Structure 1
Amino acid sequence: FFIDSAMAVPQLLAEGVDAIILDYLAEGAMGLLGRMRLADPASGFPSDFMDVHIGPFLKEIAAKGTRIVANAGGVNPAALCDKLRARIADLGLDIKVACIAGDDLMGRLDQFSETRDMFTGAPFPQSGVTSANAYLGAFPIAAALAQGAQIVVTGRVVDSALTLGLLIDRFGWSAHDFAELAGGTLAGHLIECGAQVTGGTFTDWREVEGWATIGAPIAECHADGTCVITKPKGSGGLVSVGTVSEQMLYEVGDPQAYFVPDVTCDFSTVRIAQDGPDRVRVSGATGHPPTATLKACATWDDGWRAVAYQPVIGKDAAAKAAKQAEALFERGRLMLRGRNLANWRRAEMVPIGSGEEVIAKLVVEHDEAFACQMFAREQFAAISAMAPGTSVAFGVSVQPCMSLISFLVDKATITATLDGEPCPLPAVSGFDPAMIQRPDTPTASPGTQTRTLEDLAFARSGEKGETINVGVIARRPEWRSALRAALTGEALRDWLPDLGAFTCQIYDVPGCHALNLVLECRAQHSFHCTLGLSTHSIRTGNRISRCAMLLAAGSSR
């Protein structure tokens, strides 16, 4: 993925895998790449594809016949393909490259002026849009492979489609093979975030050895839609029921209605079982017809943000940091007023750390870049003018505020292209929510023993826009009922007060003894902005793992 280790591709090539997928495109990345294209029409794709991950290994890829499928085209796949083909020609290699496009909606922005965000109802931006793309599926990738492409470069596709396209080509699955398509989608979902499934970010991190050489994931896939997740021989990391279960629920909403362009997946009956050291078998995914729509996202720059990290040390460090922050915000207000500029849209501080060493994270937002640049400079004056023990701020930055809107587009209005020629999407749809059969909710006996969530379960959180999910996987099947009883919306709001008012939907995933908690947070700030050192998606699962609850005696089911 974007900024992933340079060690991953060499590991996989040495292992002799048939194909390698590379997923670069988080929502935030699309906005950054869109800015790049606006500045230079020949750019708009991640440079790591050519400079780090694939470019240096083209000779080995050609010799071994390894297939490469990557959404490295970003917002300009044709430009990347031109650059890649030129490099291949310079090396005298014979590698066929295919370009999948048709996802870019920038030329159709006027058609979405009345569109609202599918989750929040926020209006479509009227200016400043940096990217707008529909999420394509796997069948155009399969078509490119069927025509002999060894490297397939796409723009925005669903992450798991990179894997699913390979499997459709390999096994000949049709657009109506919903169970197989769901299984292939799950295989792609499990490996798309690299080492997160081979021990990275795992709850039981102490059990994971060899972080320095952690293995990139390998999916051994079968025609029935099942797979085995493993890693290269001799690599570090861990592949276990826990690591795979955590990743299965990462960034998932309703696990019985996981929508991708080619199928509606149901992961509630998935079975995850150890199949030997660092080998986990995954089976039981089911599927329904896809919907008649595709998800789309647009990013836009909505004002400016300055961030500074000020170290404050000594006695009463937190109190000094708080007083100093408010003084800096007020100084900024006075300077803005003197220039007939509006007040800050946002001015907040959080102390990071405790005791006699605190870092004050200062955040201000304004419509004008000048205002944020002024604050970034002025906050340095605190060294000699304000609290004793203040040191030089680090990580000072001024950047555009990136915002995101998610919406749906009719599939019939989107035409994928393969090397510039139309590549029609399958005309298959028909999903109906009535197709979902919800599992029974387990009930628990009264609790008798206080334990932390981490004692009882693995947990991993993810984030999409203003939605946070936490997958909670019981360490023992009989503990799922106790977890279901304890993890109420009320309890979560008590444990996570800084998220403000949020709604909580809890989904049962009985196949792997799990729950999926979906929190709708209605954040007040722009995309990927948090006051802490990490995003809510990273913190939430870890935070609730420390919370105490009563372990129930058993379950009625």
Structure 2
Amino acid sequence: MSMKSSIKIGGATGFWGETDLAMAQFLSEGDLDYIVFDYLAEITMSILARARSNDETLGYATDFVTAMVQPNLQAIADSGVKLISNAGGVNPQACAQAITKCIDEAGLNLKVAVIVGDDLLPRVTELSAGGAREMFSHEAMPAPDKIASANAYIGAFPVAEALLNGADIVITGRCVDSAVTLGACIHAFGWTPDELDRLAAGSLVGHLIECGPQVTGGNYTDWEAVAESLVEVGYPIAKVSMDGEAVITKPANTGGTVSRGTVGEQLLYEIDDPMHYALPDVICDFSCVELQQIGQDQVQVSGAKGRGVPTDYKVSMTWADGWRAGTILWYLGRKAAEKARFFAEEVRKRAEQKLTARGISGFDDVTVEIVGDESHWGEVAQYTRSREVAVKIACRHQDKRAVALLLREVSGAALGAPPGLAFFAGTRAKPSPVIRLFSIKVPKTSVALSLIDDRGTSKLPQIPEPSTLFTPAEPTDIPSVGLQADDTLTTVPLERLAWGRSGDKGDKANIGIMARNEAYLPWIAQVLTSDYVATRFAHFMTSPSINRYYLPGLPGLNFVLHNALGGGGVASLRNDPQAKSFAQILLDTPIAIPENILES
């Protein structure tokens, strides 16, 4: 097979339920080699596991079939573009069968391949007996009968093998988000397991486009600059060269923008240590990645390094831990926030008294959040008393009846509450299962992957390990501020000096900050210490622990906040269980900086 010198990859989705704008854009563009789809957040896995438990033909991202593939089958066949998707979720064979049925009904000749073996649910008893421990907290495994799903995060080489066998559409289970892109690069360029820098570069490209328009203006700090065009936001296209360098762009005549800011924000999104970002195929070092604006809506990305290869797969399990529910009401008028808190406390006390009377234990957790009361912004907030707030009341309990009882008291207490209560009339909220995440590591050699395509079922070989398993990066010191005698300091919000984006990994939050100008970084870093960020978010964190990392290439900082999300995902009772707002809170931080640096 002759190797291409470059390829074009479109990133069509970042989660299950995303709009279907991308396919029309990419097929109109007409010259893409691959379109990749990422559907599988941890929350999504728990939802899919529940769907499969109710119907054995489900458990995959149905939107991929009905919205992305089926309506576009003829155009996909005519263009020759290859589709790669982890839409298989916890039931990739059912997803592949649904697509094959659509192809047959359309009378087309497209080959579908499915990669299986990541599902370790049949082995949970064995893993529990073997003493498996949670990879972050080191807790013991939940009881096997409570585990709903258990999937290894597999890498890119099986995807490349499926493409080599002639697949037009590749379906995986819990393939890592970025690996669907890396698999295309491995196939197109013939990259081998020991070309670590190239594997890291391909992984970076996958990381940048895996969340669709988040790299083309969506969730952008400077959203006002692109607001008028976001209705038709363009989905990302990566032009990747054989050496791994890439240009991020978007289809012609689409909205949004591609800039150093949009790409930098996405680079920082939901990573941990940027010098040790572990993926199945390579341990990446993104700390010295550089971004260069080379044209309108074109940003060149270079500088990723590969430091080694993990010997284990990460395995994420979802397990049932009781029930939860929440509901939102509004309070208006004088002392709206105070009235809302009083009402929530009244509801909680009534519910707990009834639980006691029935011999039922108290709630595992009750969370009350007042939206419109700005006290959660911390000491820097200029507090303004609001005359209209929303109050969210949520609880968690092992007994479904207890959760239902609190919901009844929310509405039942309305006539004996402070004045100004309002709510949207309709169906009362219902209890839903609490699904928690539990992650372990298992040796790669213990996970057998197989490829199912028109040739039948074949076992995929184990990927050989490179001679060097890990070479640590040398950390770079953050430059110190240089204050001259005649400098005049001025104080501005961090947002004037930096872009920011935040996200989650289980119960951990990350906040990435990228300086708009290299000269700003020392002044930003002087204020944004780990201690400062810990203080700013102390009310969110059960046991404050923060890591700060420096990325000299951008330049930027990444903060990882541990135990910050109330359990994270669907286990959390928070308004923001995925830390999407954390960067917005931090960008309000006042930063003192010399006027001459700011003006330059």
Aligned-residue offset at 1:284: 1.3
Residue 53, structure 1, aligned to residue 53, structure 2: no
TM-score by length of 1: 0.96
Q: Would the alpha carbon gap of residues 352 and 435 (structure 1) be closer, same or farther in structure 2, given more than 3 Å must change?
A: closer
Q: Would the alpha carbon gap of residues 348 and 430 (structure 1) be closer, same or farther in structure 2, given more than 3 Å must change?
A: farther
The one of 549, 559, 580 equivalent to 1:538 is 580
The one of 152, 172, 176 equivalent to 1:154 is 172
The one of 113, 129, 133 equivalent to 1:116 is 133
Does the aligned pair in 1 maintain the 2:322–2:433 contact within 8 Å? yes
Aligned-residue offset at 1:451: 2.1
Q: Would the alpha carbon gap of residues 466 and 438 (structure 1) be closer, same or farther in structure 2, given more than 3 Å must change?
A: same
Report the AA paired with residue 186 of structure 1: L
Aligned-residue offset at 1:531: 5.3
Equivalent-residue separation in structure 1 for 2:255 and 2:468 (angstroms) = 42
The one of 459, 473, 479 equivalent to 1:442 is 479
Residue 167, structure 1, aligned to residue 185, structure 2: yes
Q: Which residue of structure 1 lines up, in the alignment, with residue 235 of structure 2?
A: 216
Query: Deviation per CA, 1:368-427, whole angstroms, max 9, x where unpaired?
Result: 112212222332123323222222357834211111111111011011110032112312
Range with greater deviation from structure 2 (9-18 or 440-449): 440-449
Aligned-residue offset at 1:352: 1.2
Range with greater deviation from structure 2 (69-78 or 470-479): 470-479
> Helix, strand or coil for the counterpart of 2:579?
helix
Mapping of residues 297-316 of structure 1, within 5 Å:
297-316=316-335
> Helix, strand or coil for the counterpart of 2:569?
coil
Mapping of residues 22-61 of structure 1, within 5 Å:
22-61=37-76
The number of aligned residues is 554
Q: Which residue of structure 2 lines up, in the alignment, with residue 386 of structure 1?
A: 417
Residue 79, structure 1, aligned to residue 94, structure 2: yes
Q: Which residue of structure 1 lines up, in the alignment, with residue 306 of structure 2?
A: 287
Report the AA paired with residue 163 of structure 2: L
CA RMSD of aligned residues (A): 1.8
Residue 341, structure 1, aligned to residue 356, structure 2: no
Equivalent-residue separation in structure 2 for 1:459 and 1:233 (angstroms) = 27
Equivalent-residue separation in structure 2 for 1:431 and 1:348 (angstroms) = 48
Mapping of residues 199-238 of structure 1, within 5 Å:
199-208=217-226, 209-238=228-257
> Helix, strand or coil for the counterpart of 2:331?
strand
Residue 406, structure 1, aligned to residue 423, structure 2: no
Residue 319, structure 1, aligned to residue 319, structure 2: no
Does the aligned pair in 1 maintain the 2:506–2:568 contact within 8 Å? no
Report the AA paired with residue 376 of structure 1: L
Equivalent-residue separation in structure 1 for 2:118 and 2:254 (angstroms) = 37
Residue 461, structure 1, aligned to residue 502, structure 2: yes
Report the AA paired with residue 405 of structure 2: M
Range with greater deviation from structure 2 (369-378 or 31-40): 369-378
> Helix, strand or coil for the counterpart of 1:166?
helix
Equivalent-residue separation in structure 2 for 1:148 and 1:445 (angstroms) = 59
Does the aligned pair in 2 maintain the 1:502–1:521 contact within 8 Å? yes
Report the AA paired with residue 12 of structure 1: F
Query: Deviation per CA, 1:88-134, whole angstroms, max 9, x where unpaired?
Result: 11110100000011100101101222222111222211132111100
Q: Would the alpha carbon gap of residues 520 and 118 (structure 1) be closer, same or farther in structure 2, given more than 3 Å must change?
A: same
Q: Which residue of structure 2 lines up, in the alignment, with residue 361 of structure 1?
A: 392
Identity of aligned pairs, percent? Answer: 37
TM-score by length of 2: 0.89
Residue 188, structure 1, aligned to residue 203, structure 2: no
Aligned-residue offset at 1:453: 1.1
Aligned-residue offset at 1:522: 5.5
Does the aligned pair in 1 maintain the 2:217–2:258 contact within 8 Å? yes
5+ unaligned residues in a row in structure 2: which ranges? 1-13, 374-385
Range with greater deviation from structure 2 (431-440 or 469-478): 431-440
5+ unaligned residues in a row in structure 1: which ranges? none
Q: Which residue of structure 2 lines up, in the alignment, with residue 268 of structure 1?
A: 287
Mapping of residues 242-261 of structure 1, within 5 Å:
242-261=261-280
Aligned-residue offset at 1:343: 1.1
Aligned-residue offset at 1:303: 0.6
Aligned-residue offset at 1:287: 0.9
Equivalent-residue separation in structure 2 for 1:455 and 1:337 (angstroms) = 53
Report the AA paired with residue 126 of structure 2: Q
> Helix, strand or coil for the counterpart of 1:299?
strand
Q: Which residue of structure 2 lines up, in the alignment, with residue 4 of structure 1?
A: 18
The one of 135, 149, 154 equivalent to 1:131 is 149
Equivalent-residue separation in structure 1 for 2:521 and 2:491 (angstroms) = 15
Does the aligned pair in 2 maintain the 1:383–1:392 contact within 8 Å? no
After the TM superposition, list the runs of 4 or more consecutive aligned residues in structure 1 that deviate by more than 6 angstroms: none
Q: Which residue of structure 2 lines up, in the alignment, with residue 14 of structure 1?
A: 28
Does the aligned pair in 1 maintain the 2:20–2:67 contact within 8 Å? yes
The one of 407, 421, 436 equivalent to 1:376 is 407
Equivalent-residue separation in structure 2 for 1:527 and 1:87 (angstroms) = 33
Query: Deviation per CA, 1:318-360, whole angstroms, max 9, x where unpaired?
Result: 2221111111111111222232211111122111125221211
Equivalent-residue separation in structure 1 for 2:572 and 2:589 (angstroms) = 22
Q: Which residue of structure 2 lines up, in the alignment, with residue 513 of structure 1?
A: 555
Does the aligned pair in 2 maintain the 1:495–1:547 contact within 8 Å? no
Q: Would the alpha carbon gap of residues 314 and 529 (structure 1) be closer, same or farther in structure 2, given more than 3 Å must change?
A: farther
Report the AA paired with residue 128 of structure 1: K
Q: Would the alpha carbon gap of residues 262 and 472 (structure 1) be closer, same or farther in structure 2, given more than 3 Å must change?
A: same
Range with greater deviation from structure 2 (287-296 or 430-439): 430-439
Q: Would the alpha carbon gap of residues 7 and 166 (structure 1) be closer, same or farther in structure 2, given more than 3 Å must change?
A: same
Query: Deviation per CA, 1:159-183, whole angstroms, max 9, x where unpaired?
Result: 1110011111111111111111111
The one of 513, 516, 539 equivalent to 1:475 is 516
Q: Which residue of structure 1 lines up, in the alignment, with residue 544 of structure 2?
A: 502
Does the aligned pair in 2 maintain the 1:120–1:522 contact within 8 Å? no
Aligned-residue offset at 1:477: 0.9
Does the aligned pair in 1 maintain the 2:307–2:471 contact within 8 Å? no
The one of 449, 452, 458 equivalent to 2:493 is 452
> Helix, strand or coil for the counterpart of 1:331?
helix
Equivalent-residue separation in structure 1 for 2:74 and 2:471 (angstroms) = 52
Query: Deviation per CA, 1:476-518, whole angstroms, max 9, x where unpaired?
Result: 1122122222111221123223223422222111111111112
Q: Which residue of structure 2 lines up, in the alignment, with residue 550 of structure 1?
A: 592
Aligned-residue offset at 1:185: 0.6
